[in-house]
Chain A
Amino acid sequence: DAKTTQPPSMDCAEGRAANLPCNHSTISGNEYVYWYRQIHSQGPQYIIHGLKNNETNEMASLIITEDRKSSTLILPHATLRDTAVYYCIVRVNYGGSQGNLIFGKGTKLSVKP
């Protein structure tokens, strides 16, 4: 089973920041927080990952709380093309069976004009 909890759906106005929360209260010390998204009928797309420090790339920012029990994915200026299901997943980042991605239900983000 997935080790994360996410709201089932969220709306965001186009051009505004989208803040997607994720709870992972049972995260282990060697587990990373990964975010993926799946646009309808496409393969999951990697967005960002982090261990304990905040991370930023060209797609998004990831804010992880100090106790690592929750995180927030931030899309700074959401566009209609960001409408997708967003998945927050915790995993170890080395090989072996613990390195799988176990998908939960995710958050369906709808960006509205």
Chain B
Amino acid sequence: NAGVMQNPRHLVRRRGQEARLRCSPMKGHSHVYWYRQLPEEGLKFMVYLQKENIIDESGMPKERFSAEFPKEGPSILRIQQVVRGDSAAYFCASSPGFGTGNTIYFGEGSWLTVV
């Protein structure tokens, strides 16, 4: 049973370019979460999605950041016009969304470097 898959693992972008990070949840999971970890800092919640629906985006920056989880395909975290401060590790997680377990499992992360 494959875990949460994230790609790319490492991404380098120049200032002003766009970054797209992809996340495929575990099989049978319909809920996806995105977290950001700045260098030497803790994990910060960004957004929580079900297929075709945003449940909670209270942690998303108001500008340049967007996320989607379409009916088919992976969840996408999109960062437009990247700046150096966007350099961070971005972790995706997934859960079934129901049941006594409903445990959230994380991927290995995507490391974004803005130069």
A residues at B contact (CB < 8 Å): 34, 36, 38, 41-46, 49, 93-97, 99-106
Contact = CB atoms under 8 A, between A and B. Distances in A.
B100 A93 contact: yes
A95 B50 contact: yes
B42 A44 contact: no
A45 B31 contact: no
B60 interface: no
A43 B102 contact: no
B96 to A, nearest CB: 9
A36 B35 CA distance: 14
Contacts of A38: 43
A43 B109 contact: yes
Contact of B48 (A46, A94, A97): A97
A100 B106 contact: no
A99 to B, nearest CB: 7
B69 interface: no
Interface in B51-82: 55-56, 58
A95 B104 contact: no
A36 to B, nearest CB: 8
A95 B102 contact: yes
Contact of A97 (B43, B44, B56, B100): B56
A95 B31 contact: yes
Given A43-B91, A93-B102, A95-B55, A100 B33 contact: yes
Contact of B101 (A45, A93, A106): A93
Which 3 A-B residue pairings sit nearest by Cβ, starting from the closest?
Answer: A43-B106, A97-B56, A95-B97
A104 B95 CA distance: 20
B38 to A, nearest CB: 13
A103 B55 contact: no
Given A42-B108, A43-B107, A94 B42 contact: no
